[in-house]
Structure 1
């Protein structure tokens, strides 16, 4: 057996075996068809990652409702119509002994203007003033709608299993709907879904239980969870630890630790001091606390740059997997180098358009890397020097085009 800490297998308590400790974290691909089914480009993209050596791969966020997209081109699972495409995607994504889990998500209020007919959230709390030109104030969800959303998460999980993927992940981070329910800033309800930390946790726990009932005890369910929102009045690290304990008690298989929202994009490194960035792993301090609190397998994503930093994270025992995302969007075979004890060739840098309001958000980090994923999906090489400004213009054009199309459909 290799003495490389990253090249050690890992067995979950359920008996599921993963071949190494490298974890591909979710990135939004934008490679869904108009009807929400996956494009064949996803097959080629995920086959490339599978052959690139990753042990456990998580897909970009797959939505549970066609009326609630987070970005243009999201894959959606709300019925069985796209099952054949999902099966093909799963077959390629699980090649080379790779595990691939589908991340299920609902954006809540965090969807750009014009993308959906309306946005919804636990409470009708607007974005901060400088972002209100990009995001609408959401409508508060009704009790009936909340129950419907829980059922949608469960149905989507069932379809993921039927398609042949090896697990599923709940997106409970980065300011999307599950994260909004957990946050006292976004969730100001006074019914059973809000008012105190325990009631704010109710939604994620009921989503998990409904999914577990749908897929059984042997099919892995993980969650991506904020260590904190990093915004005033938001989800704190104390509440996150209590949520992690509750999820462990419920039986969650894996917790991926991240942090931040569109309003405070800590997951992109924007909030960290230079000393934190140098030691890599933005959320490792929180992972140490989480490891002391629970035995559930953990993964940290964000900030890793070198083989030495990743190996140390595993050797410390504080995490069980090292999460990679932006790196393998530009260097898809980086896992093979890491598994041979070498550091990646490319160093990840912030994506800047030069437009202040845009650069303050994490949106460009999403759409720029999505361009790289599309290139791989077309069989092309990645382009690390791609202009962020050009990518922004292309993204803005797509949003305007989609909005005009949606308005035309409503008018007819």
Structure 2
């Protein structure tokens, strides 16, 4: 039997303390400014335990003291704490088929710096891409005068992300070992992790809607991806393959898809499909997928009949996929992100538009809305995930 001084018990107690530090950190984050009494009330921790945990968070620099104004006309303000913005950096990265975007946020979630650069040459391998990202991150810190704090860095990719392996078919990168990639990170990057781009998008959208139980994101890049958030947690499915809404079949025996099926949504609703339908491959190449989506939106606003017809047909296909999504998951809302966001005025719809004869179908039809983050949902979602890692283990990012 283990004794109080055994290594097993010490490790177990340390784990409990780290878990309690995470609870307190997340509570402060949720309340923004929190007194010790409020922390005790919210967490159920005794005042003494809350005080002890707060003292440790002060020592490592995660929180800083502030005040809450007195509620009455008399009395001194109450002491409180808030997250220190420069404890550690939360870094989100999106590596897409055409560009690398980086968002650097403070511990409080405020964005401190960002960059977006189209890539003329694709890296030969994922390890090479990670090294390029780390170099761009260092340059971004220097250009914005940011100190080299400890960091949590999450890279979002258009591929399947599992605990030990990565597959990025658009780049031809298959069966890349995650532990090998993590070892390339410099000492200041205390955590390096990877996400599917659609998963990153839904993390960002769910963070904007903390009261919503189930959020689905349909993400447009060169094709269509997506993600699902249940009760604020990412639902990745077996092998990280959940949320691949681009491969919902919307036409039996339809256009062939690289996945091996025919009639997948991405063959009808994506910048690649749009450019093919109107024979504008050269325009797509010149503008890139991001620019081409904005270009189509501009033409739609100007009343371009070819573009409006294209988007009307795309809306029909999209509604077919959303019906499937609604019947399986019944999300409260479906958000169009990435390169679909600029086109949402022509693709969005609401169940209220159904006729009485379609009432049963309306039970699983869900509103389709635009992302408030526009085409930046992936990089911001990666930053949200990076920041969550800091709050979940603040001791892991302490400098002393």
TM-score by length of 2: 0.26
In the superposition, the TM-score normalised over structure 1's length comes to: 0.26
Task: Please say which structure displays the higher CA radius of gyration.
Answer: 2
Instruction: Specify which structure has the higher proportion of helix.
Output: 2
